[in-house]
């Protein structure tokens, strides 16, 4: 699936029953354009970013983290990124252990 179609599917899932007019107001994209995007026309990068940011906002805490990564990943030192990667892996391991116990 194309990433633009995937993000539209995610958007439909997260935002439910919004009308094209409401989506246009929310994204700042013209309503006719929203209609076309929702009918499988390719998105521009700027449109993709708007949908993605709205989805990220919906996902709150994690959204901020991802947003920071998106903006600053290239500026972070490789050493710091490795440490963070390991830290996140350990956190995931703990979450998995707890989930396994709850099964």
Sign of CA dihedral 10, 12, 16, 20: positive
53 burial (CB, 10 Å; 0-12 / 13-18 / 19+) is middle
Greatest distance between any 2 Cα atoms in the chain: 50
Instruction: Identify residues 22-61 at the interface with another protein (CB under 8 A).
Output: none
Does 79 engage in binding with another protein (CB under 8 A)? Answer: yes
Does 78 engage in binding with another protein (CB under 8 A)? Answer: yes
Does 102 engage in binding with another protein (CB under 8 A)? Answer: yes
| Nearer CB in complex with another protein: 13/72 | 72
Does 94 engage in binding with another protein (CB under 8 A)? Answer: yes
21-29, 35-43, 56-64, 92-100 -> range binding another protein (CB under 8 A): 92-100
Secondary structure of residue 1 in the 3-state scheme: coil
**Contact residues: another protein, CB under 8 A:** 77-80, 86, 90, 93-94, 96-102
């Amino acid at each position: 699936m194309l990433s633009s179609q995937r993000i539209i599917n995610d958007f439909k899932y997260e935002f439910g029953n919004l009308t094209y007019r409401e989506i246009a107001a929310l994204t700042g994209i013209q309503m006719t354009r929203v209609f076309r995007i929702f009918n499988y026309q390719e998105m521009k990068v700027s449109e993709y970013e708007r949908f993605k940011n709205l989805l990220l906002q919906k996902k709150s805490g994690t959204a901020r983290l991802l947003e920071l990564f998106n903006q600053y990943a290239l500026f972070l030192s490789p050493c710091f990124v490795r440490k963070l990667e390991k830290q996140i892996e350990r956190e995931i391991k703990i979450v998995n252990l707890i989930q396994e116990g709850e099964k």
